[in-house]
Chains A and B, each alone.
Chain A
């Protein structure tokens, strides 16, 4: 019996789609069968981030309205064996799917897959309601900005009202140097306001932009610092206890050499 997890944030542009793609790929690398669903109808992105745009035949709306079988709407990712995508429809709007249809879709998919990840659209309107309708659990993504944290707080309240208990937090794009200088909110500040369990922290990493544009999740890059963060998150989702990363680590080549000789951090 699979688990349905919605990935949401309230605010746009904090990295929901990138997070969904990376967690999905990360879970597949742990041997799980995963479906990622792009619930952002009208503004589909997840297919681009995963590099599967040119393989779309059927989409989410086709699948829930019975235009095609659900199996036909699943796009297999050849690089990650066991990862499937249901893309959003691009030419329709959020009202073309109902909450009950999403519940039915999730219930059918959970029979055959270990994890169903839903990439939620920004905002708190119908698209959000559809995306959380079938979910058992939620992951709230935020960045260390006051506005993103404020929206995350609102979303947590709405999730609790929808009886999705204990959402977990991913703080994306942390810049340790700025936190150190006191120019950016640190984890403690965010935990203090949001008061939920932290699932993971992801450092700001320009490799993510590069890999996103190439359509290849960072999680596959063994050398990448942010990829390591997503691998840890995937492990925690499967129930393993992995300590939070020490973002203070100097991860440049010089830093690694220094560590090798036992000097520097």
Chain B
């Protein structure tokens, strides 16, 4: 069996599939072999294109004559099928799509249903996470570490560092921590500090959010 040539049936007609070959003779032989083997099946068949690399124009003509003159097949085209669609139609669509994606109105996104980044380790001094969506930290946020999120920030541990929620101006953003002792807490452009001198040992989950434009920290 010749391994270079294959005929594939589609709803519109047959497609000649060509594997990489060494000499064009192999292709012609392969075609002959296939067509001779089941001459009846190919009676009046229609070739609509070629899949794979065919080589020079001269070879394409030779193949055309073989198919039409010797086997009486109807040949609509011997142009490469895949390449045509790829090179001519696709690019214009892609460019249009890219233009559509650019604008997300981060200010008015419902962050409760938005992308979330989960950080599964303690953030030490000098480490930071900035993300357009929400941030969840499973671990502590130490002094000197910084978090900034377009949406909400949830710390499942002790929050001692700097956090900024709603950095694009989302006033509904909130910060939740198992123990709320931040160096500084920011929601949109409102900045607050943790109350001084208060240091309780047990974990007490609290939420910080804006109430009529002012920072409010309450028990969860």
Contacts and interface: CB of A to CB of B under 8 A. Distances in A.
A129 to B, nearest CB: 15
A150 B140 contact: no
A151 to B, nearest CB: 7
Interface stretch (B45-53, B101-109, B119-127): B119-127
B125 A151 contact: yes
Interface string A190-208: 0011010000000000000
Q: How large is the interface on A (under 10, 10 to 19, 20 to 34, 35 or more residues)?
A: 10 to 19
Contacts, number: 28
B86 to A, nearest CB: 43
Contacts of B124: 153-154, 156-157, 160
Contact of A193 (B126, B127, B143): B143
Interface in A157-200: 157-158, 160, 192-193, 195
Interface string B126-144: 1100000000000010111
A165 B188 CA distance: 37
B160 A193 contact: yes
Given A193-B160, A195-B122, A157 B143 contact: no
Nearest to B121: A160
Nearest to A192: B158
A215 to B, nearest CB: 35
Nearest to A124: B126
B38 to A, nearest CB: 64
B125 A154 contact: yes
Contacts of A192: 158
Contacts of A156: 124
Contacts of A154: 124-126, 144
Closest 8 CB pairs between A and B? A157-B124, A154-B125, A153-B125, A154-B126, A153-B124, A153-B142, A150-B125, A150-B144
